Chain A
Amino acid sequence: MPEKPLTQHIPADRQALDLRAYESVGGYEGFRKALGGMTPQAMQQVVKDSGLRGRGGAGFPTGMKWSFTPMGADAPHPKYVVANADEMEPGTFKDRLLMEGNPHQLIEGLALAGFAIEADVAFIFIRGEYTLAQERLTRALAEAYEAGFLGKDILKSGYSLEMRLHVSGGRYMCGEETGLLNALEGKRANPRAKPPFPQVSGLWGKPTIVNNVETLSNIPHIVAKGAEWFKGLSHSPDAGTKLYGASGKVKRPGIWELPMSTTIRELLEEHAGGMRDGVRFRGLLPGGASTDFLVEEHLDTPMDFTSVQNAGSRLGTGTMIVLDDQTCPVGMTSNLTAFFAQESCGWCTPCWSGLGWAKQILAAMEEGHGKEGDLDKLSFQSKFWSPGHTFCALAPGAAEPLQSALKFFREDFERHIREQRCPWRA
């Protein structure tokens, strides 16, 4: 059996591990080890050596991200660490499991990240709809304070860290690293210009690192068991395990922790049980709404950052959305585009205006009012949603499903226009 460090102790009914249960399976050992004798620099080095890459979608190497933080006596304080628990990427449902099932693992990981950059304050920024995770984290935070894992002079190490749960007002842009910082400061979640990078000037102008929940949940295990062990969990040089998921018309939608680089075919056929009776596979978004469609020919792609990129898409969040032959690809693309149009923060014209236009074209096409030239318009518009034309990654993310749908399902789009109707509607 492959190891599942992140989820092996989460019971099937997802009851949360309390502090005692968490400690009985090795919880807070990594934290004790770090505070008992590691330097923050050594902590950063272990994470660098482990090869851990961010699980929030972009795959940035975590140790490297941390290493840009100013350290030592002259560094500005307070410094901040933030767990990005916003999880609003459509099709993504992995951080929910980690927080509902093992809240202490996230708290320990965030505290270790704090220790590594000598942070004073930690926030868990969680979306408002995750009420059960909020309850469980609130209880776990109280337990951690009570046990002396948070607060002043933790475990008599001289290190102090305050940790707060911050519940979001709700908006996709809050998950974007710098939008999140603005949201925490009580502002609209528009993104900020980079540089300066948050590691140098983040929350209230102070050094700040933001990491995804799954990224942080890996940290306690890396510290306790070492970088080599972590690399050994994967089938490829992209280290660790990954939480993979599948939704759509598969037999068993769900979430599974597996070695990084498990193939799409294995995920679909073994873990998700294949397609439901009566429907056939047509394609999938490998890692949430803002990734390019992949199709039949890509099924043997290993789900890791490099391989999925080579196949023409992105690993993203690793939770796949499956398209079947009874579902209209134009309708699906229309739904995705409408989401991005609605969530655009309005800062840059190609994003808010172009997305709004694309949304209307697609909706009209679904209603049977598609026009000659619509597909060229969609291609042309979406060219301006690329990095460089827009301020943040929302618009580039919106371009990925649209452009790839136009490529792989072009005949379906053309048929909508030709027949002046959606062939999937009765």
Chain B
Amino acid sequence: MLTAEERQEIKAELEHYPTKQAVCIDAMKIVQRHRGWVSDESIRDIGELLGMSVADLDGVATFYNLIHRKPVGRHVVMVCNSVSCWIMGYETIRQHLTSRLGIDFGETTPDGRFTLLPIVCLGACDRAPAMMIDDQFYGDLDPAKIDQLLEEFK
């Protein structure tokens, strides 16, 4: 079930677009903002609200990188693996993160604190290597800076 709040936020989006389908990505992002990810049940509920089939909606959901169709931890760490970061030491950053957190890409720490994901170029290549934690960007990374950053996210 979508909450009243989620419903209301989705409906507010509808006013700005000529079709219901136009807001489906926003709708999934609204649900994700509240729950961290988009479950099968949420897909069904959003589909009902917008008059889309589950298959159509899931086809859209799986196309986009920033829609999580699996549960994630309290914080999502997205590490840029594109070319400039690769040149500037992405491998070191990746190895440090996977060994520090004890997880690989696509996994969540057992305490539910972090999910680790790769991401394409973050548009900050002058500050490579770079990553995001949740909505915040961090550049010019090295292992020491990463250790310090991870401490800030409980």
A interface residues with partner B (beta carbon < 8 Å): 87-93, 95-96, 127-132, 162, 164, 167-172, 183-189, 204, 245-249, 253-255, 285, 289, 319, 321-324, 327, 331-332, 335-336, 339, 342-343, 345
Contact = CB atoms under 8 A, between A and B. Distances in A.
A254 B126 contact: yes
Interface in B68-122: 78, 81-84, 86-88, 119-122
Contacts of B88: 247-249
A129 B23 CA distance: 19
- Give the size category of B's interface with A: 35 or more
A contact face: mostly helix, strand, loop, or mixed: mixed
A339 B81 CA distance: 9
Interface of B: 16, 18-19, 21-26, 28-29, 59-60, 63-67, 78, 81-84, 86-88, 119-128, 132, 135-137
A131 B137 CA distance: 9
A91 B125 contact: yes
B126 A255 contact: yes
A91 B121 contact: yes
A253 B64 CA distance: 30
Contacts of B60: 169, 186-188
Contacts of A164: 16
Given A253-B125, A321-B87, A169 B28 contact: yes
A253 B21 contact: no
A170 B25 CA distance: 10
A169 B82 contact: no
A169 B136 contact: no
Contacts of B22: 184-186
Contact of A170 (B66, B82, B87, B137): B66
A89 B136 contact: no
Contact of B121 (A92, A185, A322, A327): A92
Contacts of B25: 168-169, 183, 186
A83 to B, nearest CB: 15
Contacts of A332: 83, 86-87
